[in-house]
Chains A and B, each alone.
Chain A
């Protein structure tokens, strides 16, 4: 074997998309990307995914919106965002200047909303992919109805698929009984990849005031606390679909990321870790590279899905 080889970190994600490494940042935890430029060169990421975009700007839920839990956090942001027009007009040129590879996470209240946002972002030639949030637990109707059954997801994905030639990723909810069949339905409806998991619905209450902690009452649980659940679901889905799977959930460092690749994920997204350590995602890129180098593994593709079951 060649000494000091540089491992090939690039990964192919379907729909004609190849990215320079398997490390992405998760929607809602990375702002619009530019906020991280003071911490590192954001063009080093495989792809960054911006905060969920809707047709019109959204006000979001009242405070209190977040609460720390054991090795995790609950959030009920309510998808506050600047709307797709402002994103395309004000943010995209700056992401292009920064040399970033970026994808748009989109959501709506109705299938028509999804179609409209998908159409608009598809006009952005530099956009790498569209990630359809079919699973946010914090907005009533916010995709959850579509994301909780195979039929619902199939109908939504078919409609969005007709509106875009971009690589289409479908982000799945863990708050379902059989995530595998939903992933399969997304694949059959034309998705190029599935991403999972979104947050797990949770709740916190104050036993003295007898009130819920979050104004929204329930919120989405993220962070290291959900990693074992996410890993199991990613592993399950990897065996059910042929399209690439992008793993998310509690990834704090390169070891965690490698574990998702090991069970079959083609790429990973870093979410809550960006809050604990703003450099987390770029440290994962570096950590994966040095692991492959040390282990003399030529590429991410060679390592992916090599879990030993016996």
Chain B
């Protein structure tokens, strides 16, 4: 983990809502899918705090190192980021938090990304793609414009792997990813379901719906949570989520003990 000054290589809009930023860094980045960075790219004190973003990719070649982020403009910080250009300075603290647990042989992985949540699960797809069992990918958006660009989708070309879902039915399955997973579970036996692990990132209502579905079906699930953050590395205790601790409830830091939690332990 470290605090680094980097330089923007590329920062471009894709489709209607997503931006992708590549940042050159002095050192290589090694990360576990699901880990994130605190990123800031503005001078002065307003905005004051860096913003958390999932590490989308990291690459090293010929002595050059870079890291990529995918983001959606939702407020002031992301709007400022979207206005930056190649050559502009940014600072990043990374890699942060606890990512997905991809251990476990012979499991069936279902990766679920709601909205910009795909930025967190695509790196997991990259890791799992090398394995025999492979994975299936469920991507949800309000409309077809809000799905990730096709050429970004890992393993998207393999038949049966990719399930696109839109709330308005303009592409793929007409309904939410939760509905799509419910469909996918139909006809599966108890032992098949017991082999499935869902890895999910997206809006909280989606995660909650999925967790309830998974719990009912005996399916394991890891959920990547979001919360407002100040530090991102466990010192301010501002980012906590309620997590079951035996009979009691504990407040665990999303940035440190998370962002990935066992969905069955989250107090939704």
Contact = CB atoms under 8 A, between A and B. Distances in A.
A31 interface: yes
Contacts of B228: 64-68
A86 interface: no
A102 B57 CA distance: 39
Given A62-B242, A278-B93, A68 B237 contact: no
Contacts, number: 95
A43 interface: no
Given A277-B3, A278-B93, A224 B240 contact: no
Contacts of A73: 48-49, 230
Interface stretch (A118-126, A171-179, A268-276): A268-276
B48 A223 contact: yes
Given A35-B235, A77-B238, 19 more contacts: A28-B236, A30-B235, A59-B250, A62-B242, A62-B251, A63-B239, A63-B251, A65-B237, A66-B228, A67-B228, A70-B46, A75-B230, A77-B236, A80-B240, A223-B45, A275-B231, A275-B232, A278-B3, A278-B93
A80 B251 contact: yes
Contact residues of B: prevailing secondary structure: loop
Interface string B109-136: 0000000000000000000000000000
A143 B227 CA distance: 29
B251 A71 contact: no
A295 B229 CA distance: 39
Contacts of A211: none
Nearest to A81: B237
B268 to A, nearest CB: 13
A29 interface: yes
Nearest to B248: A59
Contacts of A75: 230, 236, 238
B238 A65 contact: yes
Nearest to B231: A275
B234 interface: yes
Nearest to A65: B238
Given A35-B235, A80-B240, A278-B233, A59 B49 contact: no
Contacts of A272: 48, 230
Nearest to B251: A60
Interface in A64-92: 64-68, 70-73, 75, 77, 80
A39 interface: yes
Closest 5 CB pairs of A and B: A31-B235, A66-B238, A275-B231, A224-B45, A275-B230
Contacts of B239: 63, 65-66
Contact of B45 (A28, A59, A71, A278): A71
Interface residues of B, number: 30
B102 interface: no
Interface of B: 1-3, 40, 45-50, 91, 93, 227-242, 250-251
Contact of A38 (B2, B46, B230): B2
9 contacts: A63-B240, A66-B239, A73-B230, A77-B236, A80-B240, A272-B230, A275-B48, A275-B236, A276-B48
A177 to B, nearest CB: 29
B3 A63 contact: no
A279 interface: yes
A65 B236 CA distance: 10
Nearest to A271: B236
Interface in A249-266: 252
Contacts of B227: 63-64
Contacts of B50: 275-276
B236 A29 contact: yes
Contact of A276 (B2, B40, B251): B40
A30 B47 CA distance: 21
Contacts of B241: 63
Contact of A274 (B46, B231, B237, B240): B231
A252 B44 CA distance: 10
A71 B49 CA distance: 9
A73 B228 CA distance: 11
A31 B93 CA distance: 17
A262 to B, nearest CB: 20
Contacts of A275: 48-50, 230-232, 235-236
Q: Identify which of A39, A65, A80, A252 gathers the most chain B CB atoms within 10 Å of its CB.
A: A65
Contact of B48 (A35, A51, A68): A68
Contacts of B40: 276
Nearest to B76: A68
Interface string A210-233: 000000000000011000000000
A226 to B, nearest CB: 12
B45 A252 contact: yes
Contacts of A223: 45, 48
B43 to A, nearest CB: 11
Nearest to A25: B235
Contact of B46 (A29, A60, A66, A71): A71
Contacts of B231: 29, 274-275, 278
Q: Identify which of B48, B232, B250 gathers the most chain A CB atoms within 10 Å of its CB.
A: B48
A274 B93 CA distance: 12
Contacts of B47: 68
